[in-house]
Structure 1
Amino acid sequence: MRSISAFGRLEQFHPEPRLDAAHTVQGPLSTRPSVPQRVRSAGVAPVDVSFGPFRLLPTQLLLLEGDKPVCLGSRALEILIALLERQGELVSKQDLMTRVWPNVFVEPANLTVHMSALRRALRDGRDGHRFIVNIPGRGYCFVGKVDVLVHEN
């Protein structure tokens, strides 16, 4: 296993392709609009993304705090993955909505509700942890320190 400190984009991690609702395999995490089931693919290294006391296993759609799973819905998890992919960058509300609800019209309040659930699950702003900042009217930015662990095959 090797560790990569991620100060820029997390496109360094190449999660496994997944099977979407239409049963087509899609490419790297940053190009996917949604997160249903994922499938294993030979030759692709699994990845763990760590920040604060949390560890995200994007290919398994699993967020852990220590060794315990964090109860988080798929939409909030997809928001987290999108923010981690562009750690340190402003991600517009429209980009997040397009990513989390592809080809569906939703009110911005939907993003607000799921962002609130995500921040609550991460205890963002409490215990000295700050992971996500809001730029009012523009979007969100993941500001926490991130480490990417790539498991060698």
Structure 2
Amino acid sequence: MRASGSTAAFERLAQFHPEPGVDARFPIQGPSADRSFEQGKGSAKAVPTKISFGPFCLLPTQFLLQEGDKPVPLGSRALEILIALLERRGELVSKRDLMARVWPNVFVEPANLTVHMSALRRALRDGREGHRFIVNIPGRGYCFVAAIDVSGHEN
């Protein structure tokens, strides 16, 4: 359902904020947590052409996730969640931040995030075959915890 205006949408999203005094950007992993794969060159951001993790490869400029050379069937919302988590890998990304990123200026129920996160984790086989990519911090958000390899950049 669309909100009547962006202000109303953000007011409704505000009800999903983390507990007072909780820093939703608390780093969960070590020193690599502060490295974003968008590395600034002046005021422009450089976007990587390929981000690899486990058996997967994300091509952000093509909005495509591959396993080996085969495309992984994944909806645009789940891909957007993945990109948001990869941009802040090693950090807790709050549910509020993810919802604002994936559904900007639109009010959606938190269950929508849960549905798309489940689809993403299922596609990644997260928690199976020795793979752990995304960790859930109940009531607060999600964190991408796997090692990544970033290559190539486009402005």
The reply to whether TM is greater than 0.5 is yes
When you count helix as a share of all residues, which structure comes out higher?
Answer: 2
Given residue 33 of structure 2, which amino acid in structure 1 is its aligned partner? G
Please list, as runs of the form range in 1=range in 2, the aligned pairs for 1:134-145 lying within 5 A after superposition.
Answer: 134-145=136-147
TM value normalised by structure 2? 0.72
Task: Indicate whether 1:11 and 2:36 are aligned.
Answer: yes
Deviation at 1:47, TM superposition (A): 1.6
Change in Cα spacing, 1:80 to 1:12, as seen in structure 2 (3 Å) is closer
Partner in structure 1 of residue 122 of structure 2:
120
Deviations 1:107-139 (A, max 9, x none): 000000000000000000000000000000000
CA distance in 2 between partners of 1:45 and 1:144 (Å):
20
Task: State the superposition RMSD in angstroms.
Answer: 2.3
Deviations 1:81-113 (A, max 9, x none): 000000000000000000000000000000000
Task: Indicate whether 1:66 and 2:68 are aligned.
Answer: yes
Please list, as runs of the form range in 1=range in 2, the aligned pairs for 1:4-153 lying within 5 A after superposition.
Answer: 7-9=32-34, 11-13=36-38, 28=45, 47-150=49-152
CA distance in 2 between partners of 1:56 and 1:73 (Å):
14
Given residue 101 of structure 1, which amino acid in structure 2 is its aligned partner? W
Counting aligned pairs with the same residue, the percent is 76
Change in Cα spacing, 1:152 to 1:87, as seen in structure 2 (3 Å) is closer
Deviations 1:30-88 (A, max 9, x none): xxxxxxxxxxxxxx675200000000000100000000000000000000000000000
Gaps of 5+ in 2: 1-30
The answer as to whether partners of 1:50 and 1:56 remain within 8 angstroms in 2 is: yes
CA distance in 2 between partners of 1:45 and 1:105 (Å):
29
Deviation at 1:152, TM superposition (A): 8.1
* Structure with bigger gyration radius: 2
CA distance in 1 between partners of 2:137 and 2:154 (Å):
37
Number of matched residues?
Answer: 122
Partner of 1:56, secondary structure, is strand
Given residue 71 of structure 2, which amino acid in structure 1 is its aligned partner? P
Gaps of 5+ in 1: 1-5, 15-26, 29-43
